[in-house]
């Protein structure tokens, strides 16, 4: 979502790093570019003014002028101030001393409250809690049914005593009372000993008095420990206006950003924490129930500034990878022996558990420079590789060298791919095996990887396209006729006849046998010159 903002800021700092010392004019130009980048990203104007004012004040202070690297110091200041407008410190859900902890979800219609209720429930369930979902949105058509489906996918029970609106109009059905449903849900949670209660409330297409009144009545009925305002990160500047209206009408203790995987500018969502003074607790980053994470202001600032988010990547890896299996695999990789296609398939499947490969690569530092390549990356390629390996027999996975032409054809048909795809996979795997063996022997990265040529920056760069070097003929004959015969043999690809050893005047002669110095009649005292 913040790709445009990240690119603008990265470009600004790149120009800044070329200067050894920073003048006031350099800092003013940098702050001006930062201001334009934030405004283009749809960040609220008051937030931009406060942010750039603090950055300029600190950039002109002694902490930059006295630094060994002023450019890096300015980047550090921007990072710290960006963390500030994102909320400062990470805050998680506050649990009640006496369960159940009641969490009330509020927001506009279409913000993704119902799906987010399932994501939050699944997140809390993975931490050992026993959540209960309450369907208090009785006005939106099929909202209750949607929550029941989401709850079933998350493996969390749903309390829904009323079916809600089953028609097509956004009208509350007769006899429906969301306040009574929420109150009954709280009693059910206490009776069934659920330690977390998540109440899904109705939304509207805009802020109105009826929405505020209903949300306030549900709040008074269940007395929630947390009121989370769910905001669509793609709605632009209206996000700040809506958040302020909810803060004044109902009040909320935290913000949840939904649809953070969209391609909108999204800067307004970054303004919510600074404008309302409420922290951002969670972020929804995709359509799957697992695309949900705790919002860390410092990590989000690092992503925006293209510094990566390695900590989040490590946390996801710890959840997806089995520690014992990872240790065994590390031993195979270190030794360069025993790594098979079955191991490769297992590693790929565990990698898929971490989520989108594009997102994982995006968490690495400096990946903004490869954004175009990441955007063009087709994750279906991983599915094709899995299909090819699944089409192999266990023996073929353990020993790919036994895969001949007929086997390759069978594997291609079974996986729905072509023989060329199978050949490419086997060639890459063979090159990877050779590289691992070479690394195991040398104890580090080899200068030239097998099958990959020289690494960038190694060897001389060739200008233009050059022909392949001619095959050298060893032991060329001094006889023109025999030398011509040797050269013809090289062209035709057959072994060249070896030139006879010896001098030009002693062709065909065998080298003389070793002579014993004792058998020679030498002058007295000459033995010392023979080294004996």
CA 419-421-426 angle, to 5 degrees, is 95
Is 109 annotated as a binding-site member? Answer: yes
Is 261 annotated as a binding-site member? Answer: yes
Is 316 annotated as a binding-site member? Answer: no
Is 108 annotated as a binding-site member? Answer: yes
In the three-class reduction of DSSP (H, G, I as helix; E, B as strand; rest coil), residue 229 is classed as: strand
Q: How far apart are the first and last CA of the chain?
A: 84
Is 267 annotated as a binding-site member? Answer: no
Is 507 annotated as a binding-site member? Answer: no
φ, ψ at 19 (rounded to 5°) = -105, 130
Contact 259, 112 (CB under 8 A): yes
Contact 195, 101 (CB under 8 A): yes
Is 331 annotated as a binding-site member? Answer: no
Helices (H), 43-110: 45-59, 62-65, 70-85
Is 258 annotated as a binding-site member? Answer: yes
Is 110 annotated as a binding-site member? Answer: yes
Is 112 annotated as a binding-site member? Answer: yes
Is 167 annotated as a binding-site member? Answer: no
Q: How many CB atoms lie within 10 A of CB 148?
A: 17
Determine the longest span between alpha carbons in the chain, in angstroms. 133
Distance CA 459, CA 103 (A): 62
Is 124 annotated as a binding-site member? Answer: no
Question: In degrees to the nearest 10, what's the CA dihedral of 248, 252, 258, 263?
Answer: 40
Is 260 annotated as a binding-site member? Answer: yes
Distance CA 511, CA 79 (A): 78
Contact 147, 160 (CB under 8 A): yes
Residue 156 tokens, joined: 């969390």
Is 285 annotated as a binding-site member? Answer: no
| CA proximity to 158, closest of 178, 135, 181, 139 | 135
Is 532 annotated as a binding-site member? Answer: no
Mind spelling out the 3-state secondary structure of 251-289?
CCCEEEEECCCCCCCCHHHHHHHHHHCCCEEEEECCCCC
Distance CA 367, CA 23 (A): 30
User: Which residues make up each annotated binding site for GTP?
Assistant: 107-114, 200-204, 258-261
User: Which residues make up each annotated binding site?
Assistant: 107-114, 200-204, 258-261
């Amino acid at each position: 979502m913040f790709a445009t903002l990240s690119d603008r800021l990265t470009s600004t700092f790149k120009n800044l790093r070329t200067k050894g010392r920073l003048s006031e004019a350099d800092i003013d130009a940098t702050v001006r570019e930062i201001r334009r980048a934030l405004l283009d990203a749809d960040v609220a104007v008051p937030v931009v003014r406060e942010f750039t004012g603090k950055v300029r004040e600190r950039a002109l202070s002694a902490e930059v002028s006295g630094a060994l690297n002023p450019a890096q110091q300015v980047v550090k200041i921007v990072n710290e101030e960006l963390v500030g407008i994102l909320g400062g410190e990470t805050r998680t859900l506050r649990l009640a001393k006496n369960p159940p902890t009641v969490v009330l979800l509020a927001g506009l219609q279409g913000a993704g409250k119902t799906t987010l209720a399932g994501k939050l429930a699944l997140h809390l369930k993975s931490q050992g809690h026993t959540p209960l979902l309450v369907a208090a949105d009785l006005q939106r058509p099929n909202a209750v049914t949607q929550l029941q489906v989401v709850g079933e996918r998350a493996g969390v029970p749903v309390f829904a005593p009323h079916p809600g609106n089953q028609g097509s109009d956004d009208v509350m059905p007769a006899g429906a009372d969301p306040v009574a449903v929420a109150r009954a849900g709280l009693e059910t949670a206490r009776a069934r000993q659920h330690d977390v209660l998540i109440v899904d409330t109705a939304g509207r297409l805009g802020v109105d008095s009826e929405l505020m009144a209903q949300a306030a009545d549900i709040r008074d009925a269940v007395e929630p420990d947390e009121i989370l305002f769910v905001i669509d990160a793609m709605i632009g500047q209206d996000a700040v206006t809506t958040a302020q209206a909810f803060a004044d009408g109902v009040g909320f203790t935290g913000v949840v950003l939904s649809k953070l995987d969209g391609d909108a500018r999204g800067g307004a969502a970054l303004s919510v924490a600074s404008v309302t003074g409420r922290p951002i607790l969670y972020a929804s980053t995709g359509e799957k129930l697992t695309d949900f994470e705790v919002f860390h202001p410092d990590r989000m600032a690092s992503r925006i500034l293209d510094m990566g988010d390695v900590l989040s990547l490590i946390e996801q890896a710890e959840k997806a990878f089995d520690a014992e299996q990872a240790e065994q695999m590390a031993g195979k990789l270190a030794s360069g022996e025993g790594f098979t296609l079955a191991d490769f398939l297992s590693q790929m499947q565990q990698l898929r558990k971490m989520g989108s490969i594009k997102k994982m690569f995006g968490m690495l530092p400096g990946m903004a420079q490869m954004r175009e390549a990441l955007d063009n990356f087709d994750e279906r390629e991983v599915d094709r590789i899995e299909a090819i390996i699944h089409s192999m027999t266990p023996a073929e996975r353990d020993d790919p060298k036994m895969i001949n032409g007929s086997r390759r054809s069978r594997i291609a048909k079974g996986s729905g791919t072509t023989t060329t795809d199978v050949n490419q996979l086997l060639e890459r795997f063979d090159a990877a095996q050779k590289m691992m063996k070479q690394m195991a022997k040398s104890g580090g990265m080899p200068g030239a990887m097998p099958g990959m040529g020289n690494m960038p920056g190694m060897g001389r760069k060739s200008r233009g396209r050059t022909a392949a070097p001619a095959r050298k003929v060893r032991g060329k004959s001094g006889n023109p006729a025999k030398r011509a015969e040797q050269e013809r043999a090289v062209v035709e690809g057959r072994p060249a006849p070896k030139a006879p050893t010896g001098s030009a005047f002693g062709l065909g002669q065998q080298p003389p046998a070793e002579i014993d110095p004792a058998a020679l009649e030498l002058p007295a005292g000459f033995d010392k010159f023979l080294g004996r």
